[in-house]
Amino acid sequence: MRHTSPCLDAFGPTGRASAGRSGALRRRARARESPAQERTSLAVGPPFDSLYRHGFARVAVGIPAVRVADPVFNEGRTASLARRAAEARAVLTVFPELGLSSYTADDLFHQDALQVAVEASLAHLLDESARIPGVVVVGAPLRVGTGLFNCAIVMHRGEVLGVFPKSYLPSYREFYEKRYFAAARDALAHEVSVSSRRVPFGNDLLFEASDLEGFAFHVEICEDLWSPIPPSSYAALGGATVLINLSASNAVVGKADYRRQLCASQSGRCIAAYVYAAAGHGESTTDLAWDAHALVYENDDLMAESERFGGEQLVTADIDLMRLVQDRMRMTTFADTIHDHRERLGRLRRVTFELSVPQGAVPLEREIQRFPYVPSNRARRNERCAEVYRIQVEGLTTRLAATGIDKAVIGVSGGLDSTQALIVATKSMDLLGLPRTNALAYTMPGFATTVRTLTNARRLMEALGVHAGEIDIRPSLTQMLKGLDHPAARG
């Protein structure tokens, strides 16, 4: 399918005029279609055995080997991983912060030689992207007006859809970004020229695919996520289901866990996927270390993670877009927050583009847990079971105290469910300062009761010290069967 030019919904006079002309052309084209042609076009789409048919999208994170201030080498490694991601049928591939120049170029950022080389490599990568289906997001320093900005460039099939400048620049500990870069808030322009093409520029861009329902993404860069209110929070409220972070983030002890917490928390609060790419091998010529940490979360669930310090690598994950859309509809708080920030959300600029999802069979590679509500890790499973027990005890204890009821009656079969219930009732009596005999336990052997389960029930009641009773229900059941004139009553 042919790629169409981006359509800007809120990009100023030029964008609106372009959108209007594009819309008019589409309407005239549809008017020329015959009904049969229209039905055929509607029928075109991924086959049933493609994950894209069922509301999923495959995303990728590429961590290339880099050389400091060597854009030619860095562009080559980036393009290679982008091609691999396309072969894996991913529709979005994300690369680390300032990946074309390297993050640690320091004062070289202000050298014309590096800037010229970055622009040339970016132009070459843009040409390469014309042969790569799917969106590619790379990091590079770009001059805009009188400032140099730490940017993420979004490209698709040979076109730049938009450029994101970094919002928050760290200048503490080992970071000195304010020495080299201007922040997004300092930009005066809303457009930038990339390879002689004028494209949207700003941290208020939101990209929406016209041919993949629920696929809308926003980009932020490294420190943006560390801020109290990340820009992606507003983007999620504005409709972005996939949040992207291009990062460098050097490795120090304990930092990886904090990254996981940040990405998991942001994806959970925003009910979104969070795709994170950190710099890897070769990033620095100093004593700083870079661990090639790639993460993909979906609504607080870890979907994919790279091998830290694993060198050049590509990780993929299948995101359930429809799950995110439906969860947002159910979460009334999400809609309330949209209402409270509608003025700012109304200023988001939306870029609509035709993604052209992969055709043919694309099997789902998402891991489906056999027991989705039971952790496979033994320690976490034990912790979860203990939590369930404490919740049940707390609920029953509170209810008994509130109602003034000092006894509980429970049937004990000798199976797992009634065993758990009796243990909870016994613990509640202990917490209320009542004798355990106030838990009135009864076993009721019937036609199907085995010697084993009856023995288990008797031993359990004795071990817990509760009031133990036994009611043989076989005579009453026989009488009921007789009243129904059931053949079983006659043997």
- Please give the pLDDT value at position 26: 40
- Quote the pLDDT of residue 370: 85
- Looking only at the bridges linking them, the beta strands covering 242-246 and 273-277 are parallel
Q: What is the pLDDT of residue 357?
A: 94
Name the stretches of the chain with pLDDT < 50: 1-43
- Look up the CATH superfamily of 7-353: Carbon-nitrogen hydrolase (3.60.110.10)
How many Cβ atoms sit within 10 Å of the Cβ of residue 363? 10
Enzyme catalytic residues: 97, 166, 222
pLDDT given at position 41 = 39
Crossing angle for the helix pair 332-340 and 321-330, nearest 10 degrees?
80
Question: Among residues of the chain, what percentage have pLDDT more than 70?
Answer: 91
All residues at 6 or more sequence positions from 284 whose CB lies less than 8 Å from its CB, including other chains: 68, 103, 104, 250, 290
User: Any idea how long the chain is?
Assistant: 491
Q: According to the model, what pLDDT value does residue 44 have?
A: 66
Q: What is the pLDDT of residue 285?
A: 76
Q: How is the chain split into domains, by residue range?
A: 7-353, 378-490
Distance CA 356, CA 89 (A): 11
Number of H-type helices and E-type strands within the chain? 15, 19
pLDDT of residue 490: 85
Q: Which of 319, 227, 334, 218 is nearest to 273 (CA)?
A: 319
Model-level pTM? Answer: 0.82
Residues whose CB is less than 8 angstroms from the CB of residue 255 and which lie 6 or more positions away in sequence, other chains included: 249
- Report the topology of domain 378-490: Rossmann fold (3.40.50)
Predicted local confidence at residue 43, as pLDDT:
47
Residue 90: what pLDDT?
98
| Per-residue CA distances from 481 to 450, 478, 489 (Å) | 21, 5, 5
Asked if domains 7-353 and 378-490 share a fold, the reply is no
